[in-house]
Amino acid sequence: MNRAPTTLGSSLLALQQADSFFPGGAVAWSWGLETLVTDAQLGTPPATPSGRRPRGIRHNRSEQVRAFVEGQLRHRWNSFDRAFLDAAWQAADDLPTLMLLDAQVEALTLAEELRQGSRRVGQSLLGVHAALGTPGAAPYQHQVVAAATPGHLPVVQGLIWHQLGMHREHCHLAAAHGLCTALVSAAVRLGVMGHVDAQRVLTDIQPLLLELLDAAPCTLDEASGFTPMAEIAVMRHETQPLRLFAN
């Protein structure tokens, strides 16, 4: 697969990689949304003082989903995943550094379910690109299969997208937009809202997304994530009697 160094070529690659049609594996994960919906913590309008639920809940649901997406963007992706994606993009030709970054993501992600999700989505993305013949994908996949490195999603994104020739800022945009799309898609499949409301959430979140991307990513020393409600929901997911998503 040839690199596309032009801005237009990089933009086209970013559109392809961020498209929900691309089989990257993220559709199997709700990142805690499913448990929150089951527990009536999301998707249910707040009760009035009388204990009754107000009518016209579509707007409430959209606002709740938007708040969840914003929390994931601000306090997980932008403050943690983005830093490792950026570092991996810069070290795409340095296998030992990539493996070190992978080990850091593993060590700093406290919830096992989040570690598992990041590994499985990253490995799925890696497998697709190995099958497509993307440079660097097969050698890194060999390291993952040998259990020498976990293959976390932001590290794989940085490696693969650099090898494709995507510009740095387009990699950040594709990753952030892909996360937002995956989250609202999960909300739609859970019956929290419809497709039009999902597009409303994606539109409303754009100013924040552009604001975050306009600032430089944090350094690896500063990288941290704090989304306690979502993390607790992810950890409790395996105890749910009925499950649509892997987490």
Give 88-147 pLDDT, tens digit per residue: 999 999 999 999 999 999 999 988 888 998 999 999 999 999 999 999 999 999 999 999
pLDDT tens for each residue of 47-63: 445 545 455 444 467 88
* pLDDT for res 44: 56
Mean pLDDT along residues 163-170: 96
Tokens standing for residue 243: 């499950």
Average pLDDT, the chain: 86
Q: Sign of the C-alpha dihedral, residues 8, 208, 38, 53?
A: negative
**pLDDT surpassing 50 at residue 191:** yes
- In this prediction, residue 58 carries a pLDDT of 44
Whether 138 is covered by a domain: the verdict is yes
Q: Is the whole-model pTM more than 0.75?
A: yes
**Which long-range contacts does 196-200 make (Cβ < 8 Å, 24+ apart)?**
197/58, 197/61, 197/62, 197/65, 198/65, 200/62
- Which token pair is 192? 């929290």
The pLDDT score that the predictor gives to residue 74 is 95
Judge whether 98 lies within some domain: yes
> For the domain that residue 110 is a member of, what is the CATH number?
1.10.4190.10
> Of the given ranges (34-43, 161-170, 190-199, 234-243), which has the lowest mean pLDDT?
234-243
Residue 58 lies in a domain: no
Query: Over pLDDT 70: what percentage of the chain?
Result: 84
User: Does residue 179 sit within a domain?
Assistant: yes
Query: Above pLDDT 90, what percent of the chain?
Result: 61
Q: Give the range of the structural domain holding residue 104, as residue numbers without chain letter.
A: 25-41+70-239
Residue 220 predicted with pLDDT over 70: yes
In a domain, 48, yes or no: no
Query: Does residue 83 form part of some domain?
Result: yes
Sign of the dihedral defined by the CA atoms of residues 29, 197, 175, 33, in that order: negative
Is position 196 within any domain? yes
Count the neighbouring beta carbons within 10 Å of the beta carbon of residue 192: 23
pLDDT higher at 90 or 20: 90
User: Per-residue b/e over 125-137, b at no fewer than 16 CB within 10 Å?
Assistant: bbbbbbeeebbbb
- Tell whether 57 is covered by a domain: no
Residue 49 has what pLDDT?
52
pLDDT at position 29 over 80: no
The total number of structural domains in the chain stands at: 1
Average the pLDDT over 20-36 and give the result: 78
